[in-house]
Amino acid sequence: MRSEKLRHYSQKFPMSRNEPRTIWLVFVLVLAAANSSLFAQAPAATLELSHPAQAADGAAANNTPLTITLQDALERARANDPQYHSAITDLGVAREDRVQARAALLPGVTYNNSYIYTEGTGQPPACALSSTCPASRFIANNGVHEYISQGNAHEAVSLTNFADYRRSSAALAQARAKAEIAARGLVVTVTQTYYALVIAQRKYSTSQRAATEAQRFLKISQQLQNGGEVARADVVKASIQSQQQQRDLQETQLAMQRSRLDLAVLIFPSWNQNFNVVDDLQTPEPLPPFTDVQVAGKKNNPDLRAALAALAVANHQVSAAWGGLLPSLSVDYFYGIDSNKFATRVNGVRALGYSAVATLQIPIFNWGADRSKLKQAELRRDQARLELTHEQRQLLSHLQQFYEEASVARAEMESLASSAELAAESLRLTNLRYQAGESTVLEIVDAQNTLTQARNAYDDGQVRYRVAVANLQTLTGSF
């Protein structure tokens, strides 16, 4: 096959006597190879066209929805929520700030290498021994060539450095408390969003049953009208009720879809709506006594810890500001060479040596800048002290509010469940009485609406208790 292609191209492009045969041979081989590659790629294109269909079949086979529990949702939200990660990032930054502040308290060691060249006078070396014949044009250095290779151990001691380290430690505690606040707040957000979807699904199911019941009653009223047992007004009212239930069904379906989207944004790193949630509202967790909750709130409340840490930060900022008004001490120890030659021995003399410098810096006058910084730090400290007392009062208030909310929600759950059961029984009896001609269509419609409201109220009561417990645990931690 390839020989025929070569013969074809050699006949199509005959060689000239004035051109080398090798050039034409290479040209023909390149064209043949290009043509054969085109033919060779044709089957591959067919395979690529069939690949998306195979991928779609595989995706359809693996299109199993995920089953998400509340704990799964919490773990996923911790990995994907940007506000929670912002608090974790602040915690990491505060931890590194403390490392840097601690390093400022400890001696630092550096190794310096320098070469200093000074323009000479051009005089012979012996002239340098005479005071009337300088060896260089400038006298700032120790010689025409000066080599410095020294290790430097530096230590600075001041009240500001100590205060900065203690301030960074308090700021780390504050960041840790804020990270805990963000974590507990995320629990509340996820709990609300998760159970909002659970309740939306329940309400959608309730709307489906209500629409089915309204449609069934419409058929009953039509049958009774055909039999001459009820008036046309009953059929009209039943038709209105059926249409209203259909509209309510559409609204509940829309609310369910919105709740699903809100939860999907919160727990998935990529767009995914193919999941189911577990309805565990039938097993509410117990509520501990208020005395235990009060003790846990005073001991484990992150808002109170954050306020205490903020006050500690402000106090250490005041100390650091005082450091600008007090003397500071720095000590430097040098070891190495400072010589006219880069060598450890010069003219038989050991060039290695050491020197030490101690500096006491006493502030005298800087136009009131240091006193202004002290005043700023004192103002921040007063504000932090006020916020701490406010946080203490608010903690006691929120503890009582959230506990009473959870207690009332828990006490009402049994009553709401009983109301839902009674409403279902009332609808059943009203239907029987209507078929027997002992009740009106208005009583049927009222019984249907009462049953829907009772079921929705029971579902809302269960979520209310779970959210109240989650809010209470933001102050006390898990119990």
> CA-to-CA distance for 416 and 341, rounded, in angstroms?
96
Q: Is residue 9 part of a domain?
A: yes
Q: At what angle do helices 159-226 and 441-476 cross, to 10 degrees?
A: 170
Domain that holds residue 7: 1-30
Is the Cβ–Cβ distance between 162 and 228 less than 8 Å? Answer: no
Per-residue b or e along 252-265, where b marks 16 or more CB atoms closer than 10 Å to that residue's CB: beebbeebbebbbe
- Residue 384, in any domain of the structure: yes
Query: Do 85 and 9 fall into the same domain?
Result: no
Contact present, 310 and 390 (Cβ < 8 Å): no
Residue carrying structure tokens 């505060």: 94
Q: Are 66 and 275 in contact (CB under 8 A)?
A: yes
Q: How far apart are CA 265 and CA 190, in angstroms?
A: 11
- Alpha carbons 352 and 111: distance in angstroms, whole number: 14
What are the b/e assignments for 92-109, b being 16+ CB within 10 Å?
Answer: eebeebbeebeeeeeeee
Question: What total of structural domains would you count in the chain?
Answer: 2
Q: What are the Cα distances from residue 180, in Å, to 36, 168, 296, 303, 305? A: 67, 18, 15, 9, 10
On whether residue 376 sits in a domain, the answer given is yes
State whether 162 and 26 are in the same domain: no
Q: Are residues 6 and 81 in the same domain?
A: no
Cα-Cα-Cα-Cα dihedral of 305, 307, 310, 314, to 10°? -130
Query: Is residue 430 situated within a structural domain?
Result: yes
Q: What is the pLDDT of residue 47?
A: 30
Look at residue 228 in the predicted model and tell me its pLDDT.
86
pLDDT at residue number 405: 94
Q: Same domain, yes or no, for 201 and 265?
A: yes
Q: Same structural domain for residues 101 and 15?
A: no
The two tokens of residue 404 are: 């009473």
Residue 39 sits at the vertex; the CA angle it makes with 33 and 40, to the nearest 5 degrees, is 85
The answer to whether position 446 is within a domain reads yes
Which residues face 336 on adjacent strands? 150, 353
Does residue 303 lie within any of the structural domains?
Answer: yes
User: For residue 351, which amino acid is it?
Assistant: A
Yes or no: say if 7 and 25 are a contact pair by the CB < 8 Å rule. no
Q: Compute the distance between CA of residue 306 and CA of residue 177 in angstroms, rounded to an integer.
A: 5
- Please indicate, yes or no, if residue 54 is contained in any of the structural domains: no
pTM for this prediction: 0.74
CATH code assigned at 82? 1.20.1600.10
Give the bridge partners for 361, in sequence order.
328
**Rounded Cα gap, residues 196 and 467, in angstroms:** 10
Give the closest residue to 168 by CA, choosing from 243, 105, 76, 253: 105
- Going by C-alpha positions, the residue among 237, 281, 290 that lies closest to residue 413 is 281
The alpha carbons of the chain give a radius of gyration, in whole angstroms, of 43
Could you list the pLDDT tens digit for every one of the 479 residues in the chain? 444 444 444 444 444 444 444 444 444 444 444 444 433 333 333 333 333 333 333 333 467 899 999 999 999 999 999 999 999 999 999 999 999 999 999 999 999 999 888 776 666 555 555 555 555 566 667 777 888 999 999 999 999 999 999 999 999 999 999 999 999 999 999 999 999 999 999 999 999 999 999 999 999 999 988 988 888 999 999 999 999 999 999 999 999 999 999 999 999 999 899 999 999 988 778 899 999 999 999 899 999 999 999 999 999 999 999 999 999 999 999 999 988 888 888 888 888 999 999 999 999 998 999 999 999 999 999 999 999 999 999 999 999 999 999 999 999 998 999 999 999 999 999 999 998 888 899 999 999 999 999 999 999 999 999 999 999 999 998 87
> Would you say residue 6 lies in a domain?
yes
